[in-house]
Structure 1
Amino acid sequence: MKQNDFEKAIHQLFGEELLKENDEYGFTNIIDREIKKIGYATNLSMETVGMAIAQGVDLLLTHHDAWDFIYGLREACVGRLKQHNIGHFWIHAPLDFVDFGTCTSLMKVLEVDEIDAYSTYSEADGELPGIGEFTTPVEFEQLAKRMRGTLNEPVRAWKNNAQPVKRVGVLTGAGHSSALIREAAERGCDTYVTGEATLYSIQYAQYAGINLLVGSHTFTEIFGVESLAKKIAELNPGVEITELIESHFELNH
């Protein structure tokens, strides 16, 4: 696969509408050679770059670029990528709001039976969580245990109502806004799932009587990156994909 084949796959999978905000995705390092092996992870970090080097990856695919406020990290990562002639592509908001993206993929691995609404973004409404339902309601403790097993990490759980879980709202990563939890509650959700929590999100969920399940930012979003990597490989037979398994640095400290 050449770089232009990769770019064609991205445009085919996301469409022009999701890609119109061109500051939400892109290459930080471009290579002029065949892409035979893609390594995917949630974050661009010295850890994931090191794994890409060790595993002979040609292109590192991540959900996040290095954040501007992690001062100097992007430059350090790109320097190592250039040294080892490894490409890097990241895609943020489009992957959160596509039908196979982060929220939908998390719902699928949590065995949600029916997806009623995908997570979306618009200038009028801002971010909106994905909404899904279990055909047979699940006990809250069972769902929390399932999420811990799936993410392979601690999951914080607040049980704020007495009924089994039937309808869930999901916004992976930094979906901790109380406005998002209110949106889920107003759309009939009894449980809200995300990757970060603050005092305000915890208190609002308690006040609103909606259960709260919180994993890590990294591992609530990895399944969306995996879905994207698999779709790229399907469009480009012969390309190998491998997960660069990050440490659970957010919760296991």
Structure 2
Amino acid sequence: MKLNDFEKTIQQLFGEELLKEDDEYGFTHTTDKEIHKIGYATNLSIETVEMAIAQGVDLMVTHHDAWDFIYGLREACINKLKVHNISHFWIHAPLDFVEFGTCTSLMKVLEVDDIKAYSTYSEAEGELPGIAEFAAPVEFEQLAERMRGALNEPVRAWKNNAQPVKRIGVLTGAGHSSALIREAAERGCDTYVTGEATLYTIQYAQFAGINLLVGSHTFTEIFGVASLAEKIAEMNPDVEIEELKEAHFELNH
């Protein structure tokens, strides 16, 4: 696969509407090298670039670019990519809001039975969480353990109501806004799932009587990146995919 074939695949998978915000995805570095192996991860970091080098990757695909406020990281990563002739592509908001993306993928590993609404974004309403239901209610601690097993890391859990879990709201990564939790509660959710929490997240969930499950930003979102990589491989059978397995550095307690 050539790089322009990869770009065509991305356009087919996401469509014009999701790709209209061109500051939410793109290449940090490109090469002319044929793409035989794609390595995928949530984050662009020195560690994931070094894994890509060790695993013979031609193209890295990540959810996140290096954040501007991690000063100097993007430049350091690009320098390594250049030396080892590896391309890198990142895709943020479109992967959060496509139907096979981060929120949907996490809901599926949590074994929901019915996805009522996908996570969405619009200028009028901003971000909205995905909504899903279990056919048979699940005990809160059972769901917390299911999430811990899927993410293979600690998951913080606050039980803020007495009933078993029936309807959940999900926004992966930095979905910690109290406005998002209010939206989930107003749409009948008894439990909210995300990848970050602040004081306000925890206090508002308690006040609103909605349970709260919080994994890490990285590992609530990796399932969506894996889903994207699998779709790319399905459309380009000559390409091999491999996860660049990140450490559980956010929740090390």
TM-score band by shorter chain is over 0.9
Q: Secondary structure at the match of 1:61?
A: strand
Deviation at 1:238, TM superposition (A): 1.5
Q: Which runs of 5+ in 2 are unaligned?
A: none
Measure, in 2, the Cα distance between the counterparts of 1:31 and 1:147. Answer: 38
Deviation at 1:152, TM superposition (A): 0.3
The residue aligned with 2:3 is 3
The residue aligned with 1:163 is 163
Q: Secondary structure at the match of 2:22?
A: coil
Measure, in 2, the Cα distance between the counterparts of 1:239 and 1:138. Answer: 39
Which one-letter code corresponds to 1:151 in the other structure?
L
Report runs of 4+ in structure 1 exceeding 4 Å deviation. none
The residue aligned with 1:218 is 218
Which one-letter code corresponds to 1:66 in the other structure?
A
- The one-character-per-residue Cα deviations of 1:81-102 (angstroms, maximum 9, x if unpaired) are 0000000000000000000000
Q: What is the aligned length?
A: 253
- The one-character-per-residue Cα deviations of 1:210-241 (angstroms, maximum 9, x if unpaired) are 00000000000000000000000000012000
- The one-character-per-residue Cα deviations of 1:133-186 (angstroms, maximum 9, x if unpaired) are 000110000000000000000000000001000000000000000000000000
Which one-letter code corresponds to 1:225 in the other structure?
V
Q: CA RMSD in A?
A: 0.5
Identity rate, percent: 85
Measure, in 2, the Cα distance between the counterparts of 1:121 and 1:223. Answer: 20
The residue aligned with 1:117 is 117
Deviation at 1:7, TM superposition (A): 0.3
Measure, in 2, the Cα distance between the counterparts of 1:166 and 1:8. Answer: 40
The residue aligned with 1:242 is 242
Deviation at 1:33, TM superposition (A): 1.6
The residue aligned with 1:41 is 41
Measure, in 1, the Cα distance between the counterparts of 2:171 and 2:218. Answer: 13
Superposition pairs for residues 154-233 of structure 1, below 5 Å? 154-233=154-233
Q: Which runs of 5+ in 1 are unaligned?
A: none
Which one-letter code corresponds to 2:220 in the other structure?
T
Q: Secondary structure at the match of 1:237?
A: coil
Contact between 2:33 and 2:85, CA under 8 Å: does it hold in 1?
A: no
